[in-house]
Amino acid sequence: MPAKYMIHAGQTPDRFETVTKSGIIAWEEGCLKCAVCVKKRCVYRVYEKRGLDALQMVDSVDNQCMNCLRCVQGCPKELIHKSVSPEYKALGDEYWSAEIISKIWYQARTGKIPVSGAGYPGPFSGAGFDSMWTDMSEIVRPTRDGIHGREYISTAVDLGGTPRHLSFGIEGALEVPTPKVIDMPLPVLLRVPSVGRITPNLISGWAVAARRLGIFLALGNEHINAAPGTCLSSLMPVVEEESLKCSAYPGTKIMELIMREDTHRVAEMLKTIKEPEFISVRIPVSRGVDDRALALAKAGLSIIHLEGTDDGRFLDDPTKSIKDGIRSTHLRLVEAGLRDAVTLLASGGMAMAEHVPKSLICGADAVFVDIPILVALECRLCGRCGEGLPCPVKMDKAEPVWVARRVVNLMAAWHSQLLEVMGAMGIRDARRLRGEAGRAMFFEELDRSTFANLGKTEEGCELE
């Protein structure tokens, strides 16, 4: 068994006052100057610890408040009121919601799993990955206790294809070349996001994080020189077809090719490349993605990257989720008997820890995480940098050491959460999670089969 995989996380504070849901506390006029004001009774001593950040004009009362509403309910003149922070409401967009963003911040700051009291507060189900639930085991199947370290749960996966069978000579010697794979300890690869203003400091920090985590950072040509030389073996240069031949990066193990054209021509071209040993071919997730992936697998390519949009959808059909693309591609490869000949990587909209196990259950071997490694650095996805406006969190001032620690923290939290999900399912090896759709529950199937045959409305009936 390989050495136990541990990610060393540590508290890494924010640089700026964070935006919280807890909004503005407003005072109306007419204070009675009570001897014991409700503000003094605050359980969290928020009012006592109050401070004003002069630079950002943020009152700490507003973002340290824990929303117990006791001051609101206790003030004799009903002068104190609360509202949800408008800044929080405005964070991100429909997919990269304020809740997702603030959870990424928390994980990047602490390296811990988000824990809260009371039951789940969110909607019943949602689009994409929110329309599936993962399984757990009880009584008839054991769970695994990974999170407290009492049982080792391996999150390692292989990059590269394996032959369908080995053959041996009469003497017992292997007659086929030894299959070569990269053993990656976490089913996650980092990649440079398509949004934000990317500075050399960020690249440097991300590359260090990838090395520390034992995974890869996918990045374009233009960024390679920004990464420290010591991290070269953790980089995954991404190249276009036309520059493929001239772009060998000595010291890298893996490279990615953005495929635009004919499968066979690309396959022939790749055969001539000796270094690096592993090449991933990236294709968009759009209609017919499963057929294209199958053609690539038949042509002998061993790593296929399915790329969805930044909000985890098909490029040509916003109603379809990356999850559907992964599932259908996986099944197509299984049917063709080629599933183990290729590694499936998926990207697009990987925003929360649960997206990793859910992608694997749908059939991916590993996923790319992009936007979260920027959000981990306090990015608010406000898009101001795209318009040439100054960044509210001064991303250009982020130091590589801090960047690396924040991203390592985020991945430590995701790793722990992967252990939680796998432990509950009773699965000890991430490689066994792949394609285990029978250990998941899908909204589309369950909802209809459970509810379609209930009572039917008719004229004159009443609903309540």
Partner 1 sequence: MNRERGFVFPEVIKTPSRFRNPIGKYRLNRSKGCISCGKCLETCTRDVHAMVKGKALVRNHYLCVGYDCENPCHQVCPVKALSLRRNPDFETMGDYRWSPDLLVSAWHMAEFGRPPEKGLEYRTGNSGGGFDKLRILFSNKLKDRVDCNSNGLEPDLAVELNRREDNAHRIRIEVPFYGGGMSYGSVSINTMLSRVKAAKALGTFCCTGEGGYPDELKPYDEHVITQVATGLFGVREETIQRVKIVEFKYAQGAKPGLGGHLLGDKVTPGVARMREAVVGYPLFSPFPFHSVYSVEDHKKHVDWIKAVNPRALVSVKVSTPTDVDMVAVGSYYAGAHIIHLDGSYGGTGAAPDIAKKNIAMPIEYAVPKVHRFLTEEGVRDKITVVASGGIRTPHDVVKIIALGADAVCTGTADLVALECIRCHNCESGRGCARGIATTDPELMDLVGLEWGAQRIINMFMAWRSEMIRILKKLSISSLKDLVGNTACISHIDYS
Positions 48 through 77 that interact with partner 1 (CB under 8 A): 66-70, 72-76
139 binds partner 1 (CB under 8 A): yes
Between 52 and 441, whose beta carbon lies closer to partner 1? 441
Beta strand 343-347 with 366-369 is parallel
SS3 (DSSP) at 238: strand
354 binds partner 1 (CB under 8 A): yes
In this chain, which of 20, 252, 302, 417 binds partner 1, going by CB under 8 A?
A: 417
Q: Which helix (H) or strand (E) holds 134?
A: strand 132-134
Q: Choose the binding region for partner 1 from 51-59, 118-126, 191-199, 228-236 (rule: CB under 8 A).
A: 118-126
Between 27 and 168, whose beta carbon lies closer to partner 1? 27
Between 172 and 455, whose beta carbon lies closer to partner 1? 455
Binding mask 88-117 for partner 1 (x = CB under 8 A): ---------------x---------xxxxx
Q: Compute the least distance from the CB of residue 38 to partner 1, in Å.
A: 9
Q: Compute the least distance from the CB of residue 42 to partner 1, in Å.
A: 8
441 binds partner 1 (CB under 8 A): yes
CA pair distance 242, 235, nearest whole angstrom: 20
Please provide the size of the chain in residues: 464
128 binds partner 1 (CB under 8 A): no
Question: Cα-flanking dihedrals φ and ψ of residue 423, to 5°?
Answer: -60, -45
In this chain, which of 2, 30, 122, 229 binds partner 1, going by CB under 8 A?
A: 122
Binding mask 355-374 for partner 1 (x = CB under 8 A): ---x----------------
290 binds partner 1 (CB under 8 A): no
CA pair distance 350, 368, nearest whole angstrom: 7
214 binds partner 1 (CB under 8 A): no
Largest CA distance in the chain: 97
CA pair distance 234, 389, nearest whole angstrom: 33
8 Å CB contact between 110 and 413: yes
8 Å CB contact between 402 and 381: no
In this chain, which of 92, 420, 433, 434 binds partner 1, going by CB under 8 A?
A: 420
8 Å CB contact between 262 and 237: no
Q: Choose the binding region for partner 1 from 119-127, 186-194, 265-273, 278-286 (rule: CB under 8 A).
A: 119-127
Provide the CA 405 distance to its chain's centre, in angstroms. Answer: 17
323 binds partner 1 (CB under 8 A): no
Residues 6 or more apart from 119 whose CB is under 8 A from it?
none
Binding mask 14-53 for partner 1 (x = CB under 8 A): --------xx--x----------------xx---------
CA distances from 177 to 2, 168, 302 (A): 23, 11, 15
432 binds partner 1 (CB under 8 A): no
SS3 (DSSP) at 43: coil
In this chain, which of 2, 13, 30, 121 binds partner 1, going by CB under 8 A?
A: 121
Identify any residues that bridge with 84 across adjacent strands, giving them in sequence order: 22
Q: Compute the least distance from the CB of residue 184 to partner 1, in Å.
A: 22
Between 264 and 448, whose beta carbon lies closer to partner 1? 448
Residues 6 or more apart from 262 whose CB is under 8 A from it?
none
DSSP of 283-311: EE-STTHHHHHHHHHHTT--EEEEE--TT
